[in-house]
Amino acid sequence: MLKGINPLLNADVLQALRAMGHGDDLIIADTNFPSDSVARQTVLGRLLRIDASAAEVVKAVLSLYPLDTFVDDSAARMEIVGKPEEIPPVQREVQKEIDAAEGKPWPMVPVERYAFYERSKQAYCVIQTGERRFYGCFAFRKGVVPPDAE
């Protein structure tokens, strides 16, 4: 345990978050996502896990992880097949955590399912959660921490 760090963030996840650079993508995926096979194609090359809900994992990660302010798609969600505008409860819960972490509305952009898979393969790493609800899959592009930040 460390003071000031969410206990869900295990050593492997902390190492990956620290190693990532500006513009690298992080995938946070539900239990149905092909996390292991996709993770093998990422920069890290292996799967990370946090057995908690998607919203809990996003809250923990965003307590340390800056979102990229230079792009419009620094927070993305997998679209529902055939219903791209529908926002299921799991995505609404994650949206609340993003907004809270950023201190303002920070809407996620929708990404078609197969385009999301392709983006995931190019990511730095994948964290598989214990989220069992469908469409609990998200991509977050890492931003920068300014020199005057603590």
Catalytic residue status for 68? yes
Catalytic residue of the set 12, 73, 99, 117 = 117
Which of 24, 25, 68, 124 is catalytic? The answer is 68
117 is catalytic: yes
Which DSSP string do the residues of the chain spell out, in sequence order? --TTS-TT--HHHHHHHHH--TT-EEEEE-TTS-HHHHHTTSSS-S-EEE-S-HHHHHHHHHTTPPBPSSSS-SEEEEPBTTBTT---HHHHHHHHHHHHHHTS--PPEEE-HHHHHHHHHTSSEEEEES--STT--EEEEB----TT--
Q: Which of 22, 36, 51, 114 is catalytic?
A: 22
Is 114 in the active site?
Answer: no
Query: What residues are annotated to the active site?
Result: 22, 68, 117
